[in-house]
Amino acid sequence: MNGADDQTDAGLDQLIHVAPIGVVIVTADLTILAANVHAIELTHCNQGDSFASLVHRDDKDKLGNLLEDPALTSELRLDLEAGSKTVEIRSAIAESGDRHAIFLVDISERVALGRQLQSSRLPSRKLLYQLNVAATTMSGYAELIDLMLDEEPIVSGERLNVIRRYHREVRDNLDTMLRLLKIEREGGRRPDSPAIPIRRKQVVVVDDEPAIAEFISELMKGMKFRVVTFTDAAEALSFLSAESDGVDLVITDHVPDGPGDLDFTRSVLALPAAFPVVICSELEGEFVDAPRAYVCHKPIDITELSRIVADLIPE
């Protein structure tokens, strides 16, 4: 019986170490008993460390709730020596009840991109300035009208013409404010943005993580490009091979040693096509000799990515 248990434990250990996500085994008091390579790379934890010490102080209650209810999945912030990370976490209780398996997925890039994209959607400074000018002007003319009516409730002649002129200014500035707000609400052309071209250029986004692909796609749509998104490399390569004439730029994720990433990137660069390829990667030397390759360093900064794209496909 002990031999069967040992085989089961060995099989479990092997499964933990080959899992594509971080796995940490802890005791009831959250002392780390074991961690696979992904968890060690993410947290730099060691056997005997307290897992609770890695969690941001504001999220410790959340960690306790997750351990009590294995059905929960939540986001936790980790405070690490290398900096803060955001992970998606869930747990499983061992049959003995004295151990927990904690599963970690690094979503720091997804969270950072989401925040950057949300920030980029805030009203531009120029828009706020124009709204303020229109509101101030309108308020000034409204006060003048009130003063003139208080002095003479019944007006005619030149005074009436002046009031009518002031009223037109109020109405024009109100129309300007409504127009600016409508443009912003509909996500259309801002006063400080170029007009949307008749033939919008097409950007293809390839990332195996759906959330990242969606964020980058939203960013490109905000720049007025047509966007085609893929999370499957084979499908993306098939599309690019067949539709290369209609593609203006490709944005793809590249993880060092990621399964198939390098082969996909090289295959795209080897296509007989003219479109540039923006590679979001921690590496640069890997693609230095590729004439159509441009590297956007990870973690992705949407300001840098937007600048690279704007330089490569100027409208």
Q: What is the CATH number of the domain that holds 35?
A: 3.30.450.20
Residues 89, 104: Cα–Cα separation, whole Å: 5
Question: Considering the domain boundaries, does residue 88 fall inside one?
Answer: yes
Torsion 180-182-185-189 (CA) sign: negative
pLDDT tens, position by position, for the chain (315 residues)? 444 444 445 555 665 666 678 888 888 888 988 888 888 888 888 889 998 888 888 888 888 887 777 777 778 888 887 677 788 888 777 655 678 888 888 877 777 777 766 666 556 666 666 777 777 777 777 788 777 777 777 777 887 888 888 888 887 878 777 777 666 655 444 444 444 445 678 999 999 888 888 888 888 888 888 899 999 988 999 999 998 889 999 999 876 555 555 678 888 888 988 899 999 887 666 666 678 888 888 878 888 888 889 888 875
Q: Are 212 and 134 members of one domain?
A: no
Q: Is residue 59 part of a domain?
A: yes
Structural domain for 218, as ranges: 202-312
Of 109, 122, 297, 118, nearest in space to 219 by CA? 118
Let me know whether 304 and 219 are in one domain.
Answer: yes
Would you say residue 112 lies in a domain? no
Residues 45 and 12 placed together within one structural domain of the fold? yes
| Domain termination residue (choose one: 43, 73, 106) | 106
CATH number, domain of 227, equals 3.40.50.2300
Q: Does some domain include residue 191?
A: no
Strand 277-281 with 293-297, pairing: parallel
Minimal CA–CA distance to 248: which of 269, 266, 273, 229? 273
| 210 and 140 within one domain | no
Q: In terms of domains, do 227 and 254 share one? A: yes
Query: Do 295 and 305 touch, CB atoms closer than 8 A?
Result: no
Length of the chain: 315
Residue 18 shares a structural domain with residue 77:
yes
Has residue 192 been placed in a domain?
no
User: Is 240 within the bounds of a domain?
Assistant: yes
CA 92 to chain centre: 29
How many structural domains comprise the chain?
3
Are both 10 and 99 inside the same structural domain? yes
As a whole number of angstroms, the distance between CA 244 and CA 272 comes to: 8
Encoded tokens for 157: 């002649």
Q: Are residues 177 and 230 in the same domain?
A: no
**Whether 166 contacts 141, CB under 8 Å:** yes
Q: Are residues 160 and 244 in the same domain?
A: no
Say if residue 123 is preceded by a cis peptide, omega within 30 of 0.
no
Within-domain flag for 170: yes
Q: Do residues 62 and 51 lie in contact, with contact meaning Cβ atoms separated by under 8 Å?
A: no
- pLDDT value at position 191? 43
Nearest to 215 by CA among 201, 202, 203, 205: 205
In a domain, 195, yes or no: no
Domain end (from 73, 106, 139): 106
